Amino acid sequence: MIDNLQIVLELKDVAVHFGGRAGLLGSSGAVVKAVNGVDLEIRKAETVALVGESGCGKSTLSNTIVGLQAPVSGSVKIGGDEVVGADRRKLNDIRRKVQMIFQDPALSLNPRSTIGATIAEPLIVRGIARGKALKDRVAELLTQVGLRPEHADRYPHQFSGGQRQRVVIARALALEPDLLICDEPVSALDVSVRAQILNLLVALQQRMGVAYLFVSHDLSVVRHICDRVVVMYLGRFVEMADRDTFFANPKHPYTRALMSAVPEADPIAQRSKQRFILQGELPSPANIPSGCAFHTRCPLATEICSKVRPELTPRPDGASVACHHV
Amino acid sequence: MEIHPRPLLSVEGLTVEIAGANVVDGISFSVAPGKVMALVGESGCGKSLTCYAMLGLLPPAARRSGGHIRLDDRDLTALSQRDMRKTRGKDISIIFQEPSASLDPLTTVGAQIAAAYRTHHNVPRAEAHARARRMLADVGIPDPDRRFHQYPFELSGGMCQRIMISIALICSPRVLVADEPTTALDVTIQAQILDLMKKLVAERGTSIVIITHDMGVVADIADDVAVMYAGRIAEIAPVQTLFEKPQHPYTALLLASIPKLSDAPKADLATIEGRVPTPNEFGAGCRFADRCPLATEKCRAEQPPLFDRGGGHRSACWHIDRMAEIREVAA
């Protein structure tokens, strides 16, 4: 089936829990259900945004996808290969196909390595290139991300934040991954530099067909760069839709609250928009509310919400929403 | 034309020097009572140093080498350290980006708020505590009597920022300086804190100087905006005017680089090539000249003054007759 070849990531009912065992002093810790049964498919050259507040499980899910965190149940397939339960060698193979870039490029680069050495490292580790071929490949990668081949001899501190993020992207692309997990890749950057990196990510995708899982809370960036949006709340997806449907007709009350919370860079629109401000804060993932986890902050909540957990169900316009009252 | 009341706070020709370079270079602005002034700009533009200078809190390496800061009729720059200490927290307060880093981890939050009050008022402890409790309720902390006795680590980031705001406002200062107050917070919590700040302005008539790099926050809360670039004000205007008719190429490009509803998905965003000059690269002319699509010889040779564009709008550019070209570049 051709369709299957196009799928670079497939998550089925993935759950990741922490703790629960007896602690050091014999206390039994609460189980933190960081990710609690999520399904997701990402196709080649597609950008899927993962949106949610800190503590919603975004980072745990990203770590699980690259095999840094084992799920307690469910299946994670990258390019058709199962990550869960894979042995070291197999995992190594799979990991080539998925790479990550992080929020703060200064923290993701070794200050004592030249950026040439940093970008070459994955190629050396995997025995892909050496000598002249290695040098050429590094030069090519630098050019691809808008830097110059002669930059290879410089150190991270000699670059600006935006340039460092370009270096991180070059390193992530060295092994030609099918999927790049971008964890808030532009939120530490200044506004004018942000646009450069977003343009670069779009151009690289068009050229190389790489898929992105784009973790972000900035909805204007999400709207700009993503094909589909997934909203996560306390370990579960509460809404999933393609971009146009999502922004034209957000359905879940949490999604609507997020959208009204993000300030628009337009004073008239911002001050006239209907506000939907959430009360309170995200409950602890160690103590997830019963029924719909959002019912404690939801303005639409009724009795059923605290008792029955709504499933993610498809709607006529193609969106999937987990809410009793949509 | 709207008649502006007499400014409460005015910064006049403020210059801050670090190692011989003017990292804040003669900036001036004023804030009327109950108004919100936003200072925006990219990292290193001098917006934070400007605020620290206003409170007499410059780091040791930095020195105010010129200019005045007036609060009503008083020149804060003429005050002794001792008098400045009496003013800080009472007439002008500050909150920072990372609330958990600004609170004392070993003291209950209630005691920290009460201590701020007792620093400036000679009252019995019980009275200060009662005021602190009321303050907690005013900033929207649920169950203030229980929270009063908790330590910062027991509170979330959003709650800690509310505590910081309580400490800053317990003496009812007339000016609150907020240095990126919501940058470390989630968007839903950011919305709550911005609403709280708006409520305080409305109820108490506090003036706010807010530093941010988020044009969305500016659009939400500011009455006036000063856009800073490399230590100077590039443009200053009422908020709506700035967003609608920017009169400086830097502002126009900055606004164009933010993805907007009307943009086609994945279309190229406008970018500003190059980077902000470091203080030792500052030349004689306009500091934006090297990155500016409109720059001419004149720009490199001669610093443009802040020209008055009418209606409280000023911008430092020689070539605003060519702003249409910027709109083309941005489109």
Instruction: Answer yes or no: is B238 within a domain.
Output: no
**What's the confidence (pLDDT) of residue A187?**
85
Give the nearest partner residue to B257 out of A53, A192, A270, using CB atoms: A192
The reply to whether B174 and B260 lie within a common domain is no
Q: In A175-242, which residue ranges form alpha helices assigned H by DSSP?
A: 191-208, 219-225
Residue B99 CB burial class (10 angstroms; 0-12, 13-18, ≥19): buried
Domain shared by B188 and B74, yes or no:
yes
In-domain check, residue B239: no
**Do B155 and B285 lie in a common domain?**
no
pLDDT at B331 (0 to 100) = 67
Answer yes or no: do B20 and B114 share one domain.
yes
Q: Is residue B4 part of a domain?
A: no
**B32 and B155, same domain (yes or no):** yes
In a shared domain, residues B75 and B120: yes
Q: Is A192 on the interface with B (CB under 8 A)?
A: yes
Cα distance from A270 to chain B (closest Cα, Å)?
Answer: 6
Calpha distance A179→A205 (Å, rounded): 10
Q: Indicate whether B144 belongs to any domain.
A: yes
Instruction: Look up residue A8 and give its amino acid.
Output: V
Return the beta strands (E) in A167-325 as ranges. Answer: 179-183, 211-215, 228-233, 236-242, 313-314, 320-321
Q: Which of the residue ranges A60-69, A275-284, B179-188 would you say has the lowest mean pLDDT?
A: A275-284
Give the B window 237-256 contacts with A, CB below 8 Å. 239-240, 243, 253-255
Whether B281 maps to a domain, the answer reads: yes
Q: How many separate domains does chain B show?
A: 2
In the predicted model, is pLDDT for residue A188 greater than 80?
Answer: yes
pLDDT digits (tens, 9 = 90+) for A246-296: 999 999 999 999 988 888 889 998 998 888 878 778 888 888 999 999 999
> Stretch B289-297: mean pLDDT, rounded?
94
pLDDT at residue number B175? 96
Q: From CA B133, how far away is CA B114, in angstroms rounded? A: 9
CB neighbours of A316 closer than 8 A, spacing ≥ 6? none
pLDDT of residue B117: 96
Nearest-CA distance from B207 to chain A in Å? 19
Query: Which among B186, B239, B266 is the nearest to A202, CB-wise?
Result: B266
**CB < 8 Å from A in window 48-107 of B:** none
Region B51-68: what's the mean pLDDT?
Answer: 94
Residue B3 lies in a domain: no
Tell whether B114 and B200 lie within a shared domain.
yes
Q: Which is more confident, A294 or B42?
A: A294
The neighbour count for residue B281, using CB atoms within 10 Å, is 12
Q: Which of residues 236-275 of A touch B (CB under 8 A)?
A: 243, 257-258, 260-271, 275
Is pLDDT at A2 greater than 70 in this prediction? no
B195, B217, B255: residue with CB nearest A277 = B195
CB atoms A190 and B42 under 8 Å = yes
A225-242: string of b/e by CB count within 10 Å (b at 16+)? bbbbbbbbbbbbbbbbbe
Q: Are B138 and B58 in contact (CB under 8 A)?
A: no
**Domain around B319:** 244-330
Calculate how close chain B gets to A260, using CA atoms only, in Å. 9
Token output for B95 = 């909150």
Q: Where are the beta strands (DSSP E) in chain B?
A: 9-18, 21-31, 36-40, 62-71, 74-75, 92-95, 175-179, 207-212, 224-229, 232-238, 307-310, 313-315
C-beta separation of B237 from B313 below 8 A = yes
| Per-residue pLDDT at B149 | 96
For an interface test with A, give the residue of B100, B155, B188 to mutate (most A CBs within 10 A): B188
Nearest to B219 among A54, A199, A270 (CB): A270
Same domain as B269, residue B122: no
Q: What is the pLDDT of residue A1?
A: 44
CB atoms within 10 A of CB B254: 28
Stretch 31-60 of chain A: residues touching chain B, C-beta under 8 Å = 53-54
C-alpha dist (Å) from residue B47 to A86, B21, B100, B147: 51, 16, 22, 34
B37 contacts B226 by C-beta, under 8 angstroms: yes
Average pLDDT over residues B276-282: 87
Q: B191, A277: Cβ pair inside 8 Å?
A: yes
Asked if residue B235 belongs to a domain, the reply is: no
Phi then psi for B92, rounded to 5 degrees? -140, 130
CB A175 within 8 A of CB A124: no
Task: For tokens 């009912």, name the residue.
Answer: A13
B314 and B206 fall within a common domain: no
In the block, residue with structure tokens 């003017």: B22
B207 lies in a domain?
yes
Residue B197 has phi, psi (to 5 degrees) of -65, -40
- Which domains are seen in chain A, by residue range? 2-97+177-321 (3.40.50.300)
Q: For residue B257, give the nearest of A53, A195, A270 by CB distance.
A: A195
Are the Cβ atoms of A224 and B266 closer than 8 angstroms? Answer: yes
Residue B271: count other Cβ atoms within 10 Å of its Cβ. Answer: 22
Q: What is the largest CA-CA distance in chain A?
A: 68
Q: B5-20: per-residue pLDDT in tens?
A: 678 999 999 999 999 8
Write out the two tokens for B245: 């008719």
Nearest Cα neighbor of A120 from A167, A77, A76 is A167
pLDDT at site B1: 42
C-alpha distance from residue B30 to each of A84, B189, B265 (Å): 61, 29, 40
Q: Quick one: B127 and B57 in the same domain?
A: yes
Please give the Cα distance from A189 to B44 (Å, whole number): 12
Please, which pLDDT band fits residue A4 given cuts at 50, 70 and 90? low
- Domain termination site, one of B228, B257, B284: B228
pLDDT band at B201 (very low <50, low <70, confident <90, very high): confident
User: What is the Cα–Cα distance from B92 to B75, expressed in whole angstroms?
Assistant: 13
**Which range, of A168-182, A208-222, A271-285, averages the lowest pLDDT?**
A271-285
Cross-chain Cβ contact B243/A220 below 8 Å: no
Give the per-residue pLDDT at B4: 57
Query: Are the C-beta atoms of residues A45 and A196 closer than 8 Å to each other?
Result: no
* Alpha carbon distance A179, A40 (integer Å): 14
Place A28 in a pLDDT band, splitting at 50, 70 and 90.
Answer: low
Q: Which of B156, B191, B269 sits opposite A281 (nearest CB)?
A: B156
CATH number at residue B107: 3.40.50.300
Q: Residue holding tokens 């240095």? A: B179
Question: Which of helix, strand or coil describes residue A314?
Answer: strand
Assembly ipTM: 0.83
Pairs of residues, one from chain A and one from chain B, whose beta carbons lie less than 8 Å apart: 116
CA A48 – CA A241 distance, rounded (Å): 10
Same domain, B198 and B287: no
